[in-house]
Amino acid sequence: MTDDKDVLRDVWFGRIPTCFTLYQDEITEREAEPYYLLLPRVSYLTLVTDKVKKHFQKAMRQEDVSEIWFEYEGTPLKWHYPIGLLFDLLASSSALPWNITVHFKSFPEKDLLHCPSKDAVEAHFMSCMKEADALKHKSQVINEMQKKDHKQLWMGLQNDRFDQFWAINRKLMEYPPEENGFRYIPFRIYQTTTERPFIQKLFRPVAADGQLHTLGDLLKEVCPSAVTAEDGEKKNQVMIHGIEPMLETPLQWLSEHLSYPDNFLHISIVPQSTD
């Protein structure tokens, strides 16, 4: 029987085989071969693509290179979303490898945030962690930590160090013994069919009668159109880290085991795959 702790490792070490190709209109001095890389599901594009940038910049003139950005089938990829979320939401029904196009000009100002440095990724990551703890513990746990603990969380993510990260993160997964879970569950639900980028609402893991709320309860409450089958047929897949958890799974358990390093459950609703 798999230990719950093994789930944490499986989530952390998830990878997506990706093929990066330079956009055909970029000006090159020599041929730029596609670059293959296994991307960590739990990290962010601008954090793990230094080698991709170097590889393509070698084929270009310095003056033709400005801020790098990525696109999949015409959709600019938001670097501030975890990689696994982007894949599940946009490409999970397509064959591997994930084919991403690399751009160095015409940055889409209206669609993407700028990422001037790794500091921007760190600031965003810490900001998400703080928001998650605001929901789980009224910010008490994260505010009690020292600056060096915050740094350790970031360094753990940046350097792919599971133990280093979880040594601190485990504190963010605790709750008072008299409670049955966190105050509210940090979650975001994404669908490509809506203008709104995601749904995020206050939702308690435990009902008034003490019953644990399930994933199904959450969806019924905040996103009912996505799951109710009018004619009995399942329209959508509810995906986290590339899998479809059973709707009966307690939300508290999902929050403790299937959250991303930022402590949020990033849930994708995608059309049911035909194969």
Binding residues vs another protein (CB under 8 A) = 78, 80, 109-114, 116, 119-120, 123-124, 127, 131, 134-135, 184, 186, 194-198, 200-202, 204
Least distance (Å) from another protein to the CB of residue 272?
A: 22
Which CB, 193 or 272, lies closer to another protein?
193
Residue 137 — φ and ψ, nearest 5°? -135, 20
Q: How many residues does the chain have?
A: 275
Least distance (Å) from another protein to the CB of residue 164?
A: 23
Least distance (Å) from another protein to the CB of residue 221?
A: 9
Q: Which of 40, 42, 37 is nearest to 53 (CA)?
A: 37
Q: Which of 189, 178, 173 is nearest to 252 (CA)?
A: 173
CA atoms within 13 A on the CB side of 242: 18
DSSP letters spanning 13-64: T-EEEEEEEE-TTS--SS----EEEEEETTS-HHHH-HHHHHHHHTTS-GGG
Question: Is 69 in a helix, a strand, or coil?
Answer: strand
Which CB, 166 or 184, lies closer to another protein?
184
Which CB, 59 or 134, lies closer to another protein?
134
**Would residue 139 be called left, alpha or beta, if left means φ above 0 and alpha means ψ between -120 and 50 degrees?**
left
Which CB, 93 or 117, lies closer to another protein?
117
Which CB, 84 or 186, lies closer to another protein?
186
Q: Across the strands, what pairs with 42?
A: none
Which CB, 162 or 203, lies closer to another protein?
203
Least distance (Å) from another protein to the CB of residue 246?
A: 25
d(CA 189, CA 198): 5
Which CB, 66 or 273, lies closer to another protein?
66
Q: Which two tokens stand for residue 203?
A: 């939702």
d(CA 26, CA 104): 7
